[in-house]
Chain A
Amino acid sequence: MTRYLLKRIFYMILTLFIVATITFFLMKLMPGSPYANEAKMTPTQLEIMNKQYGLNKPIWEQYLIYIGGMLHGDFGTSFQYSNQPVSSLISARLGVSVQLGLQALIFGVVVGVFVGAIAAMKQGTWADSTATVFAIIGKSVPNFVLAVILQYYIGLKLGWFPIAGWGSFSQTILPTLALSVGPLAETARFIRTSMVDTLSSDYIELGKAKGLSRTEVIRKHAMRNSMIPLVTLIGPYAVALMTGSMVIENIFNIPGIGEQFVKSILTNDYPTIMGVTMVYCVGLVVILLITDIIYGLIDPRIRLTEKEA
């Protein structure tokens, strides 16, 4: 297990390095400069500014300096906010995004599993069809459309929850709902398929032949086996929630990392773009590692393969 983990961590670092490199050079291809009023600046002013931010050096040298700094945990200084290090900028906002993403993920997956399981058990009835229709709608309506609908009807017309902002729990409800509908629909659809499959398997038949009741068979034998494929999906979900939250954070005016990311791209704030990208990337590889470990915990067949690896 330790060997497996070490191997995985090595690959994670390699992945991060490759992502950092590609992002760095892609970013340099972006049009424009970090300066808000470049047109009004004299060449001397530009030169001074470029020198101050290290932008006058050749690109490969800038790259080496950046990677060197990153290895020491230094992501540079933000261009937007004078003298604010990118690391403190991110850490101030990361918590907000993680909270929002986790809330949406947990709500979406739990409700999705529930809906999917019911649909599978009532296969072919109205409950099944309703669940399927909602799953398709939930999957196809983009979350920013849903966000606006929620803001208008639940926030404005009904006035149940605040429309935007961040601070109290009630302010998190609408963005959480908007973000969770995608994973909820996907989970429901997935669990339904997986459960229908499981329910027709021989060991469920054997469970019935043991004299277990329908609920006992589902609780003891069907649930866990139907959940296995879902674990693989949770990784990509988590990432989708992080990227999805970029738009949602903007719509609901939430001071999260996604909102910051959009701002930094619009202003060509190179160090912040790099920093946020790296945070996303670390999040992704860590989540993938965690899902693989969870996979092994609920499916004994995977555990063996790990030992052999």
Chain B
Amino acid sequence: MPEKILDVKNLQIDFNTYAGEVKAIRDVSFHLNKGETLAIVGESGSGKSVTTRSIIGLLAKNANVVGGEINFHGENLLEASEKDMQNIRGNEISMIFQDPMTSLDPTMKIGQQIAEPLIKHKGASKKEAWAKALEMMKAVGIPDADKRINQYPHQFSGGMRQRIVIAIALICEPEILLADEPTTALDVTVQAEILDLMKDLQKRIKTSIIFITHDLGVVAGMADRVAVMYAGEILEYGTVDDIFFDPQHPYTWGLINSMPTLDSDTLESIPGTPPDLLDPPKGDPFAPRNKYAMKIDIERKPPFFKVSDTHYAATWLLAPGAPKVEPPLEIQRRWKKYALMKKDHELVSEN
């Protein structure tokens, strides 16, 4: 059994707005194993960012944690004091934000910005911190680091800035790195470089990553496990192979089906829009957009059904006695491939 480093249980977060209480996170549970990368996938507004922000205690002022636990080293982070959270942030749990163009202080030298967490958390002297910052800049692949350490953010490109943000996040060698769409604002070629860099550093520093994205292509190359989020709930979770080759929830089908492939001539999409979380749906939140929905999907919330030891999905389609439905062709193709893969695997392990 892999060691759980972070355990989120029944998290519930509301936002107070003029229109009323937006129930943004509704009973979300997941865990993060030591050294792995967990991807949280979902469309905008599904609650992925809010979930990660609640881990680090940086929710917006109008957010209200209604219930749940976030356990880290035997402590519930939701009950930790602001002082304790400050000691954890940037030290044991770090975060990378989406837009590197605005994430850095425009009037402070890069070196100082990278060194800051080290001085704060490890009590390093300015000189020590500066030396470590230089080392970190080299580690994240910034050329001419000795010169560039004295420069300001506007003298760096977007990709370089994201490298610097990564250096800031990792300088204290945190146990958990929260990456909130770290490559969304970058060019595709730069994206790949940043992802490679993150994987490389993850191995070196042995940190666990929660990777938030709406880009399934990125997930495939990056994650060990995947949780699919929709309308403030997790609908399905499993290993990368479970999700990509044996998806069970119709929403996951929709997501995978809307990924363009080399031989697809049309771009598939999921019709409709996510539900209004001021008044969240009673049953499966995806039911109104789901062409496979049954009556029970609208009336009762499905529990998680076990697909395998690593794979769970919350859909009534997995209930015993549920009717068999035909998923989209692309999904059927993947299922077949998965069955073959499994067979090969069994053959290999038998020999």
**Is B truly associated with A?**
yes
Question: What residues of A have a CB within 8 angstroms of the CB of B95 in the complex?
Answer: 206, 209
Binds A, one of B71-79, B101-109, B197-205, B253-261: B101-109
Closest to B97 in A: A202
Question: What residues of B have a CB within 8 angstroms of the CB of A213 in the complex?
Answer: 86
Whether the Cβ atoms of A211 and B165 lie closer than 8 Å is no
Whether the Cβ atoms of B107 and A208 lie closer than 8 Å is no
A14→B165 CA distance, assembly (Å):
47
Whether the Cβ atoms of B106 and A209 lie closer than 8 Å is no
A84→B18 CA distance, assembly (Å):
71
Whether the Cβ atoms of B116 and A210 lie closer than 8 Å is yes
Closest to A204 in B: B105
Whether the Cβ atoms of A211 and B87 lie closer than 8 Å is yes
Whether the Cβ atoms of B103 and A206 lie closer than 8 Å is yes
B152 within 8 A of A: yes
Interface residues of A in 185-230 (CB under 8 A from B): 201-203, 205-213, 216, 220-221, 224-225, 228
Whether the Cβ atoms of B152 and A300 lie closer than 8 Å is yes
Selected from A201, A207, A212, A304, the residue in CB contact (under 8 A) with B155 is: A304
A299 within 8 A of B: yes
Question: What residues of B have a CB within 8 angstroms of the CB of A211 in the complex?
Answer: 86-91, 117, 120-121
Contact A209 to B56, CB < 8 A, known contacts A203-B105, A299-B106, A304-B155: yes
A3 within 8 A of B: no
Question: What residues of A have a CB within 8 angstroms of the CB of B104 in the complex?
Answer: 203, 206
A239→B86 CA distance, assembly (Å):
45
Interface code A273-309, partner B: CB below 8 Å = 1, 0 otherwise?
A: 0000000000000000000000000111100100000
Q: How far is the CB of B264 from chain A (nearest CB, A)?
A: 36
A209→B116 CA distance, assembly (Å):
11
Whether the Cβ atoms of B89 and A301 lie closer than 8 Å is no
Interface size counted on chain A using CB atoms at 8 A: 23
A213→B103 CA distance, assembly (Å):
17
Q: How far is the CB of A122 from chain B (nearest CB, A)?
A: 12
Whether the Cβ atoms of A225 and B103 lie closer than 8 Å is no
Interface code B53-94, partner A: CB below 8 Å = 1, 0 otherwise?
A: 000101000000000000000000000000000111111001
B140 within 8 A of A: no
Whether the Cβ atoms of A225 and B86 lie closer than 8 Å is no
Contact A212 to B103, CB < 8 A, known contacts A206-B168, A301-B154, A304-B155: no
Interface code A38-50, partner B: CB below 8 Å = 1, 0 otherwise?
A: 0000000000000
B146 within 8 A of A: no
Selected from A207, A210, A216, A299, the residue in CB contact (under 8 A) with B107 is: A299
Whether the Cβ atoms of A208 and B102 lie closer than 8 Å is no
Whether the Cβ atoms of B152 and A301 lie closer than 8 Å is yes
Interface code B106-129, partner A: CB below 8 Å = 1, 0 otherwise?
A: 111000000011001100000000
Whether the Cβ atoms of B168 and A298 lie closer than 8 Å is no
Residues of chain A whose beta carbon lies under 8 Å from any beta carbon of chain B: 201-203, 205-213, 216, 220-221, 224-225, 228, 298-301, 304
Q: List 24 A-B contacts (CB under 8 A).
A: A201-B102, A202-B99, A206-B97, A206-B103, A206-B104, A206-B165, A207-B116, A209-B89, A209-B90, A209-B95, A210-B90, A211-B90, A211-B91, A211-B121, A212-B86, A212-B90, A212-B116, A216-B120, A221-B105, A221-B108, A300-B107, A300-B152, A300-B154, A304-B155
Counting from the closest, the 6 A-B pairs by CB-CB distance are: A211-B90, A210-B90, A211-B89, A300-B152, A202-B102, A209-B95
